[in-house]
C-alpha cells in the first residue's frame, strides 16, 4: 500500500534545469486530497502548471498539464524534506531536473 502523502502538503521553492540546460525557478504548492494523493501547482516564470501527485515510499510522482502539453515528474524524497526530480513532456525528447525545497 502506498505511503501517506500527508507530509507532502505545503509550499516549495523550485530550482530547475530545462532540456537545453537553461535554469528556471519559481514556487510549487501541493494540497493533500486523500491518504496517498495530492494536487500540485507550479508557478515558474510566467507559466502555471497543474497536476495530480502520489507518493509511494521515498518516491513522489506527478502527472501535470502545462498549456496543451502533458508531462510527468518523478521525485526522490530526501531526508531534509526536499524533492529531487526528473521530468519530461509527452512526445518530446529530453529530460529536465527539478529540486523542490520546502518553505514551510
29, part of any domain: yes
Indicate whether 25 pLDDT > 80.
yes
DSSP labels, the chain: -PPP-GGG-EEEEEEEE-TTS-EEEEEEEEEE-SSSEEEEEEEETTEEEEEEEEEETTEEEEEEEETTEEEEEEEEE-TTS-EEEEEEETT----EEEEEEE--
User: Which pLDDT value is given to residue 104?
Assistant: 62
Query: What number is the average pLDDT over the span 14-21?
Result: 96
Q: Residue 56 is part of a domain; what is its CATH number?
A: 2.40.128.120
pLDDT-based confidence at residue 2 (cuts at 50, 70, 90): very low
Q: Note whether residue 49 is domain-resident.
A: yes
- Residue pLDDT, tens place only, 35-66: 888 999 999 988 999 999 998 888 989 999 98
Judge whether 72 lies within some domain. Answer: yes
CA distance linking residue 73 with residue 70, whole number of Å: 11
- Domain membership flag for residue 17: yes
Which pLDDT belongs to residue 20?
Answer: 96
Q: What percent of the chain has pLDDT over 90?
A: 72
Residue 13 lies inside a defined structural domain of this protein:
yes
What domain range includes position 10?
6-102
4 pLDDT higher than 80: no
| Residue 1 confidence (pLDDT) | 36
Number of structural domains found in the chain: 1
1 lies in a domain? no
Asked, for residue 30, whether it belongs to a domain, the answer is yes
Amino acid at each position: 500500500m502506498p505511503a501517506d502523502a500527508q507530509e507532502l502538503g505545503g509550499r516549495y521553492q523550485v530550482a530547475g534545469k530545462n532540456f537545453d540546460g537553461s535554469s528556471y525557478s519559481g514556487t510549487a504548492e501541493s494540497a493533500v486530497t486523500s491518504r496517498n494523493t495530492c494536487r500540485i501547482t507550479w508557478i515558474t516564470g510566467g507559466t502555471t502548471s497543474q497536476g495530480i501527485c502520489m507518493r509511494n515510499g521515498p518516491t513522489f510522482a506527478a502527472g501535470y498539464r502545462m498549456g496543451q502539453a502533458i508531462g510527468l515528474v518523478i521525485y526522490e524524497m530526501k531526508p531534509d524534506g526536499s524533492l529531487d526530480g526528473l521530468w519530461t513532456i509527452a512526445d518530446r525528447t529530453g529530460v529536465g531536473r527539478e529540486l523542490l525545497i520546502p518553505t514551510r
